[in-house]
Amino acid sequence: MTRQAIVAANWKMNGNLSLVKEMVSGLKQVTLASNVNVVVCPSFPYLAAFSAESAEQSLSATICLGAQNMSEQQSGAFTGEVSSEMLTEVSAKYVILGHSERRTLYKESSTLVASKVTKALEAGLIPILCIGESEEERISDQTETVLASQIQPVIDAIGIEKFSGVVIAYEPVWAIGTGKTASPEMAQETHAFIRQYLANESQKIAQKVPLLYGGSVNRGNFEQLFAQTDIDGGLIGGASLNVDEFSVICSAAKGQ
């Protein structure tokens, strides 16, 4: 079964209008393999600018806009929050949910993340559901338990069939922004567990869900990671702020 490959850029709280223009111009020159989508997720203030610049430069439809987060609420007195409808209005197609920084710094629970996934799907957005364990949890052999505890609330909330519209990004917390990276073999083993966990609910759906690896992915390690059977692309942090490096990573992605 063919699965879509996805390379997603998470700029976090970085970037500016100049980078928006530079990124759109750079990605316009990239030749993507068939069945590959690129997703760029700038901070909220730059979503509309990226959308407008993409339209002006006639960027390929396979290069999409994504947001880094959204509210589980639809509207109302929630100062500082952004709804799914607001994201779709600026032509966002994807949204990152449950990133470890949201879980740890802002105390977002897996139940809250599941609510956000539900709301995103209702709005026609594609959630990039982030899961991952800490270094302590990896050392104490709790990785699979932790990942299951982050996936199951979403299954309970939306049902396994709707996972056909979900992307999962495995990001070991200990590898995010640290320069440490899971070995290709370790990453593959964990991705295989995630796919099997989904397969316990539905083999058919499990084979459709794109699984991404995130955690210090860069020019030096992406080829080995992307070559693994169950890794369908990456969620790229720091390297996505460098147009040349990100373009190289995107051009090498291949659909399974």
Residue 26, marked binder: no
Nearest to 131 by CA among 120, 117, 115, 147: 147
Catalytic residue among 53, 99, 133, 137: 99
Q: Which amino acid is at 15?
A: G
Residue 25, marked binder: no
Q: How is 31-62 classified by DSSP, letter by letter? A: PPPTTEEEEEE--GGGHHHHHHHHHHTT--TT
Q: How far apart are CA 142 and CA 162, in angstroms?
A: 27
Catalytic residue among 53, 101, 137, 171: 171
Residues 101/218/249/212 CA torsion (nearest 10 deg): -40
Nearest to 231 by CA among 192, 173, 176: 192
Q: How far apart are CA 221 and CA 219, in angstroms?
A: 6
Residue 10, marked binder: yes
Contact criterion met (CB below 8 Å) for 184 and 228: yes
Say whether 99 is catalytic. yes
Q: How far apart are CA 25 and CA 190, in angstroms?
A: 35
Nearest to 217 by CA among 3, 9, 5: 9
Whats the size of the chain, residue-wise?
256
Residue 177, marked binder: yes
Residue 11, marked binder: yes
Residue 12, marked binder: yes
Beta-bridge partners for 86: none
Neighbour tally for 78: CB within 10 Å: 12
Q: How far apart are CA 79 and CA 201, in angstroms?
A: 38
Residue 76, marked binder: no
Say whether 171 is catalytic. yes
The residues carrying an active-site annotation are 99, 171
Annotated binding site for substrate: 10-12, 177, 216, 237-238
Binding residues: 10-12, 177, 216, 237-238
